[in-house]
């Protein structure tokens, strides 16, 4: 192989680079929010709250969705396209179920009187979890694109880059949710 080809293989793909820049900025945003949460928690008007059980169930769902996306990645590498397509569908459905379960969880909070504007502690909960939900919805949009590509009759290119980018983002959003859940449970 020529030196130019070897150098190109060492470079990070532009889409992956953009993803990592985005991931870094999301990490910084949530680090700032969780730091502010810790500071505000020491104020006298802070009201502790219980997280709904639905958040636990949704955590199981998003973990399973990461597993199915990982398995779809492996199936794609092995050129098992029927298995790949099925696992992409399952991942997409699980992602949608996660969002629905989060909405149910927020509805349970709302019915308990834990509303966005009632107290600063509740506001932080809604902002932190709500921003995560927006990132999950972005991941679902990406999964829909992956789904459309998987079932497209026009594309017969085995380019793994889109799958790797979407997988990395989805696994990141999964890990972020686990971090946020543990954070909210430990620092009330």
Query: Residue 2's pLDDT is what?
Result: 58
DSSP string, 89-109: HHHHHHHHHHHHHHHHHHHHH
Query: Residue 153's pLDDT is what?
Result: 72
Query: Residue 74's pLDDT is what?
Result: 94
Considering all CA atoms of the chain, what is the largest pairwise distance in Å, rounded to the nearest integer?
67
Supply the pTM of this predicted model.
Answer: 0.87
- Residue 59: name the closest of 156, 158, 180, 151 by CA: 180
Query: Residue 3's pLDDT is what?
Result: 60
- Residue 162: name the closest of 6, 26, 14, 8 by CA: 14
Query: Residue 170's pLDDT is what?
Result: 96
- Considering its fold, how many domains does the chain have in total? 1
Query: Residue 157's pLDDT is what?
Result: 67
Query: Residue 181's pLDDT is what?
Result: 94
- pLDDT per residue as tens, the chain (188 positions): 556 555 556 788 888 889 899 999 999 999 999 999 999 888 888 888 889 999 999 999 999 999 999 999 999 999 898 999 999 999 999 999 999 999 999 999 999 888 877 888 888 889 999 999 999 999 999 999 988 888 877 756 678 888 999 999 999 999 999 999 999 988 76
Query: Residue 118's pLDDT is what?
Result: 82
CATH of residue 27's domain is 1.20.120.80
Structural domain containing residue 29 = 3-40+49-186
Burial 1-35 (b: 16+ CB within 10 A, else e): eeeeeeeeeeeeeeeeeebeeeeeebeeebeebbe
Q: Distance between terminal CA atoms of the chain?
A: 57
């Amino acid at each position: 192989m020529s030196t130019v080809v070897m150098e190109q293989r060492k470079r990070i793909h532009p889409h992956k680079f953009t993803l990592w820049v985005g991931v870094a900025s999301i990490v910084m945003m949530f680090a700032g929010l969780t730091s502010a949460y810790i500071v505000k928690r020491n104020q006298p008007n802070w009201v502790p709250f219980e997280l709904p059980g639905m958040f636990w169930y949704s955590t199981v769902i998003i973990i399973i969705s990461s597993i199915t996306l990982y398995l779809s990645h492996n199936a794609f590498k092995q050129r098992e396209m029927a298995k790949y397509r099925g696992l992409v569908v399952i991942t997409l459905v699980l992602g949608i179920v996660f969002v629905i379960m989060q909405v149910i969880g927020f509805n349970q909070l709302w019915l308990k009187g834990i509303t966005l504007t009632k107290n600063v502690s509740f506001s932080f909960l809604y902002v932190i979890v709500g921003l995560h939900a927006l990132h999950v919805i972005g991941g679902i949009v990406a999964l829909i694109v992956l789904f459309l590509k998987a079932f497209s009759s026009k594309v017969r290119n085995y380019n793994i880059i889109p799958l790797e980018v979407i997988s990395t983002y989805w696994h990141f959003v999964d890990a972020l949710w686990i971090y946020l859940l543990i954070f909210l449970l430990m620092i009330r």
